Amino acid sequence: MAVGLKIPKSIGGTAMSMTGKCLCGAVSFTAESVKRETHACHCGMCRRWAGSPLFGVSVGKVEFDGDDNIAVYVSSDWAERGFCKNCGTNLFYRLRQTGDHILLAGSFDDQAELPLVGEIYIDQKPPGYEFAGDHPRQTEKEFLASIGMA
Ligand SMILES: [Zn+2]
Ligand SMILES: [Zn+2]
At 130, give phi and psi (nearest 5°).
-160, 150
Does any domain span residue 42? yes
Least distant ligand from the CA of 71: 1
User: Ligand 2 centroid vs 3 CA: distance in angstroms?
Assistant: 38
pLDDT per residue over 35-55, tens digit each?
Answer: 999 999 999 999 999 999 999
Tally of domains in the chain: 1
Is the pLDDT at 1 greater than 90? The verdict is no
Residue 65: which pLDDT band, with cuts at 50, 70 and 90?
Answer: very high
Please give the average per-residue pLDDT across 114-123, as a whole number: 97
Query: Whole domain around residue 123: which residue ranges?
Result: 14-146
Q: What is the pTM of this model?
A: 0.87
**CATH number for the domain that contains residue 58:** 2.170.150.70
In a domain, 66, yes or no: yes
In a domain, residue 94? The reply is: yes
Residue 49 included in any domain: yes
Residues lying with their CB under 5 A of ligand 1, a single-atom ion: 22, 24, 26, 84, 86-87
> Quick one: pLDDT at residue 143?
95
pLDDT of residue 62: 97
pLDDT at 10: 44
Q: Is residue 38 part of a domain?
A: yes
- What average pLDDT does the segment 51-77 reach? 96
Q: Are 135 and 117 in contact (CB under 8 A)?
A: yes
pLDDT at 29: 98
In a domain, 90, yes or no: yes
* C-alpha 134: how far from chain center: 20
What torsion do the CA atoms of 143, 145, 149, 150 make, to the nearest 10 degrees? 120
**What distance in Å separates the CA atoms of residue 21 and residue 29, rounded to the nearest whole number?**
6
Residue 8 lies in a domain: no
Q: Is the pLDDT of residue 5 over 50?
A: no
